[in-house]
Amino acid sequence: MADKIETHTLSVLVDNEPGVLARVIGLFSGRGYNIESLVVAEVDAARHLSRITLVTSGTPMVIEQIKAQLDRLVPVHTVRDLTIEGAHVARELALIKVVGSGEKRVESLRIADIFRARAVDSTIESFVFEMTGAPEKIDAFVNLMRPLGLVDVSRTGVVAITRGAKGI
Amino acid sequence: MTTATKPPATAAEMTGAEVILKALADQGVEVVFGYPGGAVLPIYDAMFKSNYVRHILVRHEQAAVHAAEGYARSTGKVGVVLVTSGPGATNAVTGLTDALMDSVPVVCLTGQVATHLIGNDAFQEADTTGITRPCTKHNYLVKDSGALAKTIHEAFHVAKSGRPGPVVIDLPKDIQLAKAPYVGPEDVEHKTYRPRRTPDPQAIEQAVEMIAKAKRPLFYCGGGVVNSGPKASELLTQFVRMTGYPVTLTLMGLGSVPASDPLFLGMVGMHGMYESNMAMHDCDLMINIGARFDDRVTGKLTEFAPHSKKIHFDIDPSSINKNVRVDLPVVGDAGEVLAALIAQWKKKKAKPDGAALAKWWDQIKKWQARDCLRYKASKTLIKPQYALERLYALTKDLDPYITTEVGQHQMWAAQFFKFEQPMHWMTSGGLGTMGYGLPAAIGAQIAHPDRLCIDVAGEASILMNIQEMSTAVQYRLPVKVFILNNQWMGMVRQWQELIHGGRYSESYTEALPDFVKLADAFGGVGFRITKPSDVDGVIKEMIKVKKPVIVDCAVDQKENCFPMIPSGAAHNDMLLGPEDQAAKPTSDEGLALV
């Protein structure tokens, strides 16, 4: 019964109150679940609602547990499993700093252009690129930058939303 | 104010402390278990001036929570605790964790330093909401006196609804002193928290179909039935009798089916009955109502009830498919589930498979014939089993409330006391908290002043909260502490004997107090029993004394608790007695299990 490890993207609507993020993170660390990425911000100021998008991995039984445990937290409104519910758009934002000169510097700019990354800061010897995309695309770009003078990467983690007219 | 009669305090005139007490009163709270300190002085001051609630002064904050648990579990009401900041709150943590594991509704008010001091390492400051987040169902820090009344009402709702549990409200001192508006409980509704109670009708139909078709069925029920209220236990008994199927209960579920019912096989699990565990292993349909497939019940998961389909009814969706994958998961309150099952069973005119059931009962009777609780009687040594048999026989007509500490004596009490109704048995099941029993008995005695409340204890456990004898004496609570004294941490010694080659590392207590003198010192009454022939006399004497009593019963030091599923073993691999234990060494996996 070697169950396969799956990666799921969960979208959790919560009351924006003190401690709510600690409850979610404490649940994951306390019960030994994985967090691959976690993003949180207020999405409805009038109703004090925040959305947490988190990417986690585990066997199907563990994923079910994670959802049930999240749903049990008192300030949680809804838990939706975007991976199960079908088509969704997942995006991540990254800022990538590359330092170099000569051919390497030109090459990094050329590749950035192909990936539709924008230079948001520049000195004679460095660029900061901003790019948005699926996590795999950012991985690919970061890997290409490595030999070209990659210095720092800062990534937001995934935010996601369902495709089509219906809300989450 | 010139008029002679002062008008009632309007909302605007109340202080936070007064609001707190009024909210408790409006929630129907009659008793608060607590201990004062700097950060809750305004509440104690308001209490001094009013008579909204009765306060029981404990001797340690952990005991306050256990007493509230005993009160809650013997009444079905929410237990309420009031402690100060810092050490008051941290001392309560064990009790809160205990209440969380055993799903006991408790509201714990903790004092906190003034809001402007929070985070400054002030005197007696602790991050109470941070510390208690993983050991409560929910917690609150009230930083706005406007939200105070609402928060208290919400906390009670959260504590008692759905799967019950402990809720902490952290109350900074300035909030207790500030003017605060009052709202009643009826004006509070939670934005999101709505636990599901009613089971899905389709699932009930499917369940009844599976139940009617089963050839080797077994009801496996637990604390969820007790927590749902007395009605659920009645319905469970009714449904079990309608089907004629065997039923086993977990440690937490004892009493939800009368122990005298021939359909009841006894407790299941590590020290459960041979017939219950064998039936669980061999059944073809397991009907789980309000139990959570705890590791003390399942034993080795890969060999757990291998030929069975499983239906799991539970109010907590996260309890379903956690340890054991089930075939039909149903979310709902045990009482509502049982009412729906009975209605559907009647509607379908369902009948069990008579021939198959007769064969199943034949098999079960063979297991029962092994008489798994038998022990070697002795004329010179008091066997712990004998002491409990006599304690049960001489008290059962008084319908006592029984609490326990944790260890061998706890398991023997579960085996030898027969509970005819729910809410009479209080023990620390999930957390296994030594020191639970005496304060829990105090809580039960407060709720039932004229009834017999007995803490079945071990000499090691009782010392963990022995200071509560002082509480019992202060409030003239005639709780009875019945110590099975073998001078060992019995369960630790048993595991060291069975699993660690008889290397008794630190499990023997070299110095014990004279418990008779100790009872006397506290202002209670002490008895000592050293001979089997004295057991009955002392128990009768103990019942008569209307004061706190400690009975120090010197029992056989070497006795082990059987039957036993060794850790890491399957249900059909039980040790039935000392003659079994040598033949079956514990597996390496078993060694790592608790």
Q: Provide the pLDDT for residue B581.
A: 66
Nearest to B193 among A19, A69, A74 (CB): A74
Q: Provide the pLDDT for residue B189.
A: 79
Nearest to B192 among A30, A69, A77 (CB): A77
Domain count, chain A: 2
Tell me the per-residue pLDDT of A151-167, one tens digit each, with 9 for 90 and over: 999 999 999 999 999 88
Asked if residue A115 belongs to a domain, the reply is yes
Q: Provide the pLDDT for residue B186.
A: 86
Stretch (H or E) spanning B245: none
What's the CATH number where A62 sits?
Answer: 3.30.70.260
Domain boundary among the residues A27, A52, A85 is at A85
- With a cut of 50, say whether residue B7 has pLDDT above it: no
B150, B160, B173, B480: the active-site residue: B173
Regarding whether A73 and A49 lie in a shared domain, the answer is yes
Question: CATH code for B11-187?
Answer: 3.40.50.970
CB-CB neighbors (< 8 A) of A75 in chain B? 192
Regarding whether A93 and A44 lie in a shared domain, the answer is no
Q: Is A125 near chain B, with CB under 8 Å?
A: no
pLDDT band at B426 (very low <50, low <70, confident <90, very high): very high
Regarding whether A78 and A103 lie in a shared domain, the answer is no
Regarding whether A69 and A110 lie in a shared domain, the answer is no
- With a cut of 60, say whether residue B2 has pLDDT above it: no
pLDDT band at A1 (very low <50, low <70, confident <90, very high): very low
AA identity, residue B571: H
- Domain residues for the domain of A21 are 6-85
Give catalytic status of residue B349 as yes or no: no
Regarding whether A119 and A106 lie in a shared domain, the answer is yes
Give catalytic status of residue B215 as yes or no: no
Tell me the per-residue pLDDT of B559-585, one tens digit each, with 9 for 90 and over: 999 999 988 899 998 999 887 765 666
Whether residue A23 and residue B190 make contact (CB cut-off 8 A), yes or no, is no
Surface of A (18-57) touching B: CB under 8 A? 18-19, 22-23, 26, 30
Domain boundary among the residues A85, A105, A123 is at A85
- With a cut of 90, say whether residue B590 has pLDDT above it: no
Regarding whether A37 and A79 lie in a shared domain, the answer is yes
- Please give the Cα distance from B39 to B45 (Å, whole number): 12
- With a cut of 50, say whether residue B3 has pLDDT above it: no
Nearest to A22 among B133, B191, B320 (CB): B133
Mutate to test the interface with B, among A23, A61, A74, A81 (most CBs of B within 10 A): A74
What are the distances in angstroms from CA B277 to CA A54, B40, B218, B308, B365?
41, 49, 11, 13, 13
Contact A40, A70 (CB under 8 A): no
- With a cut of 50, say whether residue B5 has pLDDT above it: no
Tell me the per-residue pLDDT of B490-528, one tens digit each, with 9 for 90 and over: 999 999 999 899 999 999 999 999 999 999 999 999 999
Regarding whether A93 and A66 lie in a shared domain, the answer is no
DSSP A31-46: TT---SEEEEEEEETT
Give catalytic status of residue B589 as yes or no: no
> Residue A72's closest chain B neighbor by CA?
B318
Domain boundary among the residues A62, A85, A108 is at A85
Q: Is A5 near chain B, with CB under 8 Å?
A: no
B491, B542, B564, B574: the active-site residue: B491
Q: At the topology level of CATH, where does B384-554 sit? A: Rossmann fold (3.40.50)
- Please give the Cα distance from B44 to B197 (Å, whole number): 38
What are the distances in angstroms from CA A1 to CA A60, B302, B439, B568?
12, 10, 46, 19
CA proximity to B33, closest of B61, B12, B7, B75: B61
Asked if residue A166 belongs to a domain, the reply is no
- With a cut of 50, say whether residue B8 has pLDDT above it: no
Q: Provide the pLDDT for residue B191.
A: 80
Tell me the per-residue pLDDT of A48-86, one tens digit each, with 9 for 90 and over: 999 999 999 999 999 999 999 999 999 999 999 999 998
| Chain B positions with Cβ closer than 8 Å to A | 129-130, 133-134, 137-139, 141, 158, 190-193, 316-318, 320-322, 325
Tell me the per-residue pLDDT of A2-27, one tens digit each, with 9 for 90 and over: 689 999 999 999 999 999 999 999 99
Whether residue B141 and residue A76 make contact (CB cut-off 8 A), yes or no, is no
Whether residue A75 and residue B141 make contact (CB cut-off 8 A), yes or no, is no
Regarding whether A94 and A80 lie in a shared domain, the answer is no
CB-CB neighbors (< 8 A) of B191 in chain A? 15, 77
pLDDT band at A133 (very low <50, low <70, confident <90, very high): very high
CB-CB neighbors (< 8 A) of B316 in chain A? 72
Q: Classify domain B201-368 by CATH architecture.
A: 3-Layer(aba) Sandwich (3.40)
CB-CB neighbors (< 8 A) of B193 in chain A? 74
Q: How many residues in total does chain A contain?
A: 168
Q: Is A62 near chain B, with CB under 8 Å?
A: no
Regarding whether A34 and A99 lie in a shared domain, the answer is no
Bridge partners for A39 per DSSP: A53
Q: Provide the pLDDT for residue B583.
A: 61
Asked if residue A168 belongs to a domain, the reply is no
Regarding whether A13 and A81 lie in a shared domain, the answer is yes
Query: B73 CA to chain A: closest CA distance, Å?
Result: 23
Asked if residue A167 belongs to a domain, the reply is no
Please name the residues in contact with B192: beta carbons below 8 A apart, sequence gap of 6 or more: A15, A74, A75, A76, A77
Regarding whether A96 and A76 lie in a shared domain, the answer is no
In chain B, % of residues over pLDDT 70: 97
Asked if residue A1 belongs to a domain, the reply is no
- With a cut of 60, say whether residue B1 has pLDDT above it: no
Whether residue B320 and residue A15 make contact (CB cut-off 8 A), yes or no, is no
Domain map (residue ranges) of chain B: 11-187, 201-368, 384-554
Regarding whether A153 and A108 lie in a shared domain, the answer is yes
Across the range B432-449, mean pLDDT stands at 98
Asked if residue A157 belongs to a domain, the reply is yes
Is residue B408 helix, strand or coil? helix
What's the CATH number where A145 sits?
Answer: 3.30.70.1150
Backbone angles phi, psi at A148, to 5 degrees: -100, 10
Tell me the per-residue pLDDT of B117-150, one tens digit each, with 9 for 90 and over: 999 999 999 999 999 999 999 999 999 999 999 9
